[in-house]
Amino acid sequence: MQSQPTLPKQGLLSQLNDLPDVMSAEQSQQLLEETLRVYEDHIDRFLPLYVRVLGEEMLEWRAEGAFLYSPSGQRWMDCLGAGGVFGLGFRHPKVVDAVKKQLDRVGLSARLFVNPVTAALAQKLVSLAPAGLDQVWFANSGTESLEAALKLARLATGRPGIVGTQYGYHGMSIATLSISGLEAWRKGTEPAVGGSSVIPFNDIGSVKKAVTADTAALILEPVQWASGCEVATTEYLKAVREHCDKVGAFLIFDEVQCGLGRAGTLWGHTPSGVVPDILCVGKILSGGVMPLAAVLYNDKVRHGERDRPQFNNSSYGGNPMSCAAGLAALNVMTDDGVLDRAIDLGARLGVALDEFVKKYPKAIKAHRGAGLMRCLEMKQPSMGSVIQDYARKRGVIIASMMHMPQFVRVSPPFTATDEEFAFFLNAVEESLAEIARMSLMDLMRYNNDFGKHAQQVMMKLAQDRAAEA
């Protein structure tokens, strides 16, 4: 890491490649301001506002292992990780190395020739998938894998119906929103895709009514993050499987988030023994380095491809660099003991959270989820943003959910060392202890002060902009 004291005073965005890894607080602030400005003008008004209100140097400049670093070297342990992408932490050396080597051979695919690294990843993925799921289509994102899964189900059945569950989340495209289970996400994007419907989760009665001879597929997450990490019961999954078979509908498991060790077992569905017809995988498959997702499906589904040379297409899906990342990531998981580590840390997290619930009942009511995919359920919705703040001030990123602020998501990396894991647990425990000491009045004051501060920041920003104009 080199440090370089003299830097231009402005225009840093046009010289990013010349900037050092570590800068002074003043230079870092300058880079933050320039970045916020462009976000506000061209990308997104909300994220920069959040950063301005918190007043912290939340500028993603470097990342390594469990930590994100700002340009001046402030660091946070990321236990949210883009909804669970960073199972292997940031920039796992073996994944980075594999991608660099692949880039020096062939980066993106011309898509006319076959590529061995894509084949090797498919082979590895199939070896880890439940028996029968031996067909693979590679996508660039989880959403795209879900779109492909829906398409496969319709192609193979010739039926229109696609059924999702309440609090299910499958992406933000129109089709995936149509089977996602939160009104707020869909609002303004209607009408939903024809034939789509959404039913309660973990409720077999609703499945029996909604999944009929017109249904192509039922889509669900074995561990649903947006409900505060509700886990599908084994009885439910078994009954769902039986009913789908009875009416000839396919069963799609969206394991973009809960798969590949995140929920404390190789697959989210592993404890139930229920195997879907179509399985969507993403996030951790990227190794935290290159965008990658996949759909795995069985021979019954493959039937739908018979009439066409390709059922789907993508310029970048399954590109050699992403596949090199995915292959290295899966090898690290299976050969370097990272999957076992995820299982072990997941169990330890469960034990620690049980203890916190007993020790700080004034702050935390319960916890839900499995493995390293958990949610704390705070005693009051107003405590969600407080614990998020307190943990961040202690150097740990966790997040309260916007639509249900009493639920706070924690998704630590599998590769966290014992010391890092203890650092994370300690930050959560200290934050809970601090909240448990707060009276209801303290809580109200905290949230009011925060609201007032946010208003002041917004007003100052509006004034500064007006003065410039």
**Can residue 225 be called a binding residue for ligand PLP (CB under 6 A)?**
yes
Q: Is 181 in the site for ligand PLP (CB under 6 A)?
A: no
Q: Helices 46-54 and 440-468 sit at what angle, rounded to 10 degrees?
A: 120
**Distance (Å, whole) CA 428 – CA 413:** 15
Q: How many residues does the chain have?
A: 469
* Both structure tokens of 373: 């995919």
Sign of CA dihedral 406, 54, 448, 395: positive
C-beta closer to ligand PLP: residue 141 or 272: 141
| Cβ-based nearer residue to ligand PLP, 168 or 320 | 168
Specify the stretch interacting with ligand PLP by CB under 6 A; choose among 141-149, 324-332, 347-355, 370-378: 141-149
Does residue 288 belong to the site contacting ligand PLP (CB under 6 A)? no
Q: Is 282 in the site for ligand PLP (CB under 6 A)?
A: yes
Q: Which stretch binds ligand PLP (CB under 6 A): 10-18, 103-111, 154-162, 168-176?
A: 168-176
> Is the bond preceding residue 291 a cis peptide, omega within 30 degrees?
no
Q: Which is nearer to ligand PLP, 167 or 236 (by Cβ)?
A: 167
Q: Using CB under 6 A, which of 35, 109, 141, 272 touches ligand PLP?
A: 141
* Contact pattern for ligand PLP over residues 77 through 116, marking x by CB under 6 A: ------x---------------------------------
Residue 374 DSSP label: E
| CB 28 to ligand PLP: min, Å | 29
Q: How far is the CB of 150 from ligand PLP (least distance, A)?
A: 12
Check residue 371 for interaction with ligand PLP (CB under 6 A): no
- Out of 57, 78, 147, 221, point to the residue binding ligand PLP (CB under 6 A): 221
Q: How far is the CB of 292 from ligand PLP (least distance, A)?
A: 9
Q: Looking at the DSSP assignment, which residues form a beta bridge with residue 199?
A: 165
Dihedral sign from CA coordinates of 434, 439, 443, 448: negative
Fill in the DSSP letter of residue 144: H
Contacts of 19 (CB under 8 A, 6+ apart): 4, 7, 12, 31, 71
Pairing assessment for the beta strands 196-199 and 161-165 based on DSSP bridges: parallel
Q: Running DSSP on this structure, what letter comes out for residue 451?
A: H
Judged by CB under 6 A, the residue of 48, 87, 142, 261 near ligand PLP is 142
CA of residue 74 relative to chain centroid, distance = 24
Comparing CB distances to ligand PLP, the nearer of 154 and 170 is 170
User: How far apart are alpha carbons 229 and 240 in whole angstroms?
Assistant: 19
Q: Are strands 364-370 and 250-255 parallel, antiparallel or unpaired?
A: unpaired
Q: Rule CB under 6 A: is residue 135 a binding residue for ligand PLP?
A: no
Q: Does 287 bind ligand PLP (CB under 6 A)?
A: no
Candidate ranges 69-77, 147-155, 253-261, 262-270; the one touching ligand PLP (CB under 6 A) = 253-261
Is residue 222 within the footprint of ligand PLP (CB under 6 A)? no
Amino acid at 9: K
**Under rule CB under 6 A, residue 262 binds ligand PLP:** no
**With binding defined as CB under 6 A, does residue 147 bind ligand PLP?**
no
171 binds ligand PLP (CB under 6 A): yes
The residue type of 287 is: G
From 254, 377, 420, 429, residue interacting with ligand PLP (rule: CB under 6 A): 254
Q: Which is nearer to ligand PLP, 169 or 423 (CB)?
A: 169
Q: DSSP readout, 34-102?
A: HHHHHIIIII-SHHHHHHHHHTS-----EEEBTEEE-TT--EEEESSHHHHT-TT-BS-HHHHHHHHHH
Least separation, in Å, of the C-beta of 283 and ligand PLP?
A: 7
Contact set with ligand PLP (CB under 6 A) = 83, 141-143, 146, 169-171, 221, 225, 254, 256-257, 282, 293
